Amino acid sequence: MIIAKPKPIEEIIETTKEFKKILVAGCDGCVTVCEAGGMKEAQIVGSALRIYFKQQGMDVKVDEISLTRQCDRPYVAQLEEKLKDYDAVVSMACGAGVQFLAEAFKDKPILPGVNTCFIGVTEAKGEWTERCQACGECILATTGGICPIARCSKRMSNGPCGGSANGKCEVNKEIACGWHLIYERLKELGQLDRFERPTSPKNWNTSRDGGPRKVVKEVSQL
Amino acid sequence: MTTTTPSKLERILAAGHFAVTSECGPPRSADPEVVAHKAQMLADFVDAINVTDNQTAVVRQCSLASCIRIKQLGLEPVLQMVTRDRNRIALQSDLLGAASFGIHNVLCLTGDHQSFGDHPNAANVFDLDSTQLIQTVKMMRDECKLLSGFEMKDCPKMFIGAAENPFADPFEIRVSRLAKKVAAGAQFIQTQCIYNMEKFKKWMQGVVDRGLDGKVAVLAGLTPMKSVGMAKYMKSRVPGMDVPDDIIKRLAGVPKDKVAEEGIKICVEQIQELKEVKGVRGFHIMAIEWEEKVPEIVKAAGLYPRPQV
């Protein structure tokens, strides 16, 4: 899923304080699972804004809602009627959701309520870690199911570099060395021969380097 | 002995001599004198001079310009190239430029992560990694083609080097990773600074056992210690460095004004010992901001005068 984290409330206050009627819109998708931008977090932001504006003696209306998804038009369209009552929206969705609302409601300022971080997993309760950088050409079949692009700080194809120690990355001892993990896993799978085979330069064109991307499934367009 | 390039370093190794290389770090300024001065100090005592490429991710005068300067002094440069800052377009372009000035040695590196340097907020590139840069240089030289498949008229004649750290963890990977770089096309290796001699010998034995010593010339990396502080810093702060406590104890055991001398002595003893290790084909002496000591080390280690080939 897409992992995000809530923006500091001070930053949200700064971007919303010129408005009188604010809707905080959560998303029931990924950001709910990673506890950054679901209904619960929308209510927390809403409460914090109400307290702030009240303390400042400002008469500001703040309400909350959460959409099934902010990255799908039918769900976004459900906001149409409701938005007439508001002059700004704080979207608690990922960057895709924020932009999709902005495209749908051209006359309303849509403000981000979270920082979108990465594609990852729930590592432990309250902890999420990165697994994928959406390079568009998956190589996990050759690397023991562990991605060197997402998990090596130098995204090496032929790692590890000389700086890892005790299975940790030289950049930060909190980070596992992706190539150490790959090596150990290949060993477990009896595929160590793969480790010594040089991997040729990657085609990054399918990654963000190729420009904004699009996936088309023709059969679904009929 | 046949050689693949006009590189003097390659000729020396092919003739069966121990090769001696050293390196000079360019200044963090536009000063035109520093590299020339350092290179002239090393001139008669080494076969080739590496120029580091923004080492530790700190901005310095560029490696290519410094190598051209060294070449114009009539000396033999080794162009260090990291893949951190340039994509395959810039790397190949610089290789062509280097070759056009008669630079015939390249050391292919991935490079330190930018978070260690003076611009930790910089974007990194890492389009290729060190192994892929080796493949690229080899393709340019042997097939006379760019990575795109474009066929060149004049191809760069580069003797291809890579680094290897025998001490990085886990140890069991290290010979395997050397094998991978050799498979990609590496012809010489300059190792990480050696302090743990036992571990180095164990690695070298692994290299010999796999027959890799017949395919690649290993130059043992050495950095003389200037002070106890430096030894402690190298041990605890430099990623991938293995400094045994014995070295620190030995340095700490002499009067303060004799520590540097002791550091040189250790380095010379190491070279003598390493000459006897099968597979060691030369020495890469990295006297960090201490280039003036290289002549003394080379002489004391019995590596002077340098062979004329």
B46 band by pLDDT with thresholds 50, 70 and 90: very high
- Could you report the per-residue pLDDT of A167-183, keeping only the tens digit for each? 999 999 999 999 999 99
Residue of A nearest to B193 (CA): A162
Domain count, chain A: 2
Same domain, A147 and A86: no
Check pLDDT > 60 for residue B168.
yes
- The answer on pLDDT for A139 being more than 60 is yes
- Same-domain pairing of A102 and A16: yes
A165–B239 CB contact, under 8 Å: yes
Q: Do A9 and A52 share a structural domain?
A: yes
Residue A213 lies inside a defined structural domain of this protein: no
Q: Judge if A6 and A113 occupy the same domain.
A: yes
Contact yes or no for B133/B105 (Cβ under 8 A): no
CA dihedral A187→A192→A195→A200, nearest 10 degrees, is -130
Cβ distance A158 to B164 less than 8 Å, yes or no, reads: no
**Residue B21's pLDDT is what?**
98
Report CB contact under 8 Å: A198, B132. yes
pLDDT at B240 over 90: no
Chain B environment of A157 (Cβ under 8 Å): 129, 131-132
What are the tens digits of pLDDT across the range B47-70? 999 999 999 999 999 999 999 999
On whether both A96 and A168 belong to a single domain, the answer is no
Sheet with A61-67, strands from edge to edge, namely A61-67, A21-27, A88-91, A110-112
The answer to the question of residue A218 being in a domain is no
User: How many other C-beta atoms can be found within 10 angstroms of the C-beta atom of residue A7?
Assistant: 20
Residue A126 inside a domain? The answer is no
Residue B177: list chain A partners with CB under 8 A: 160
Q: How close A162 comes to chain B (CA, Å)?
A: 5
Per DSSP, helices labelled H in B101-227 are 130-138, 174-184, 197-209
Q: Please give the DSSP secondary-structure letter assigned to residue B141.
A: I
Q: Which residues of A lie inside 8 Å of B (Cβ-Cβ)?
A: 153-167, 170-171, 180, 183, 192, 195-201, 204
Q: Which of B113, B115, B132 sits opposite A200 (nearest CB)?
A: B132
A139 and A193: one domain? yes
Q: Closest by alpha carbon to B90, among B147, B141, B138?
A: B147
| Residue A17 and residue A77 share a domain | yes
A141, A114: one domain: no
Please give the C-alpha separations between residue B260 and each of A117, B194, B251, in angstroms, as whole numbers.
49, 17, 8
CA–CA separation, A208 and A211 (whole Å): 5
The answer on A108 and A18 residing in a single domain is yes
Cα–Cα distance for residue pair B273/B265, rounded to 1 Å: 12
Full domain range(s) for residue A193: 135-199
- Which of A118, A148, A163 is the last residue before a domain boundary? A118
d(CA B156, CA B105): 10
Domains in chain B, CATH or no CATH each: 8-223+280-285 (3.20.20.220)
Give the contacts of A135 (CB within 8 A, at least 6 positions apart). Answer: A149, A202, A204, A206, A207
Q: Do residues A111 and A6 share a domain?
A: yes
Residue-averaged pLDDT of chain A: 97
Determine, yes or no, domain membership for A165.
yes
Considering all CA atoms of chain A, what is the largest pairwise distance in Å, rounded to the nearest integer? 70
Question: Does residue A164 form part of some domain?
Answer: yes
Q: State which of A58, A89, A118 marks the end of a domain.
A: A118
Give the residue-averaged pLDDT of B273-288. 97
Q: Which of A158, A160, A196 sits opposite B132 (nearest CB)?
A: A158
| CATH value at residue A13 | 3.40.50.2300
* CB–CB contact A157 B132 (8 Å): yes
Same domain, A94 and A16: yes
In the predicted structure, residue B220 carries a pLDDT above the cut 70:
yes
Is the four-CA dihedral B201, B20, A170, B90 of positive or negative sign?
negative
Provide the whole-model pTM.
0.94
DSSP for B202-236, please give it: HHHHHHHHTTGGGTSEEEEEE-----HHHHHHHHH
Residue A95, in any domain of the structure? yes
- pLDDT for B145 equals 98
Check whether residue A6 and residue A97 sit in a common domain: yes
Is residue B22 within 8 Å of B287, Cβ to Cβ?
A: yes
* Domain membership flag for residue A173: yes
Identify whether A216 is part of a domain: no
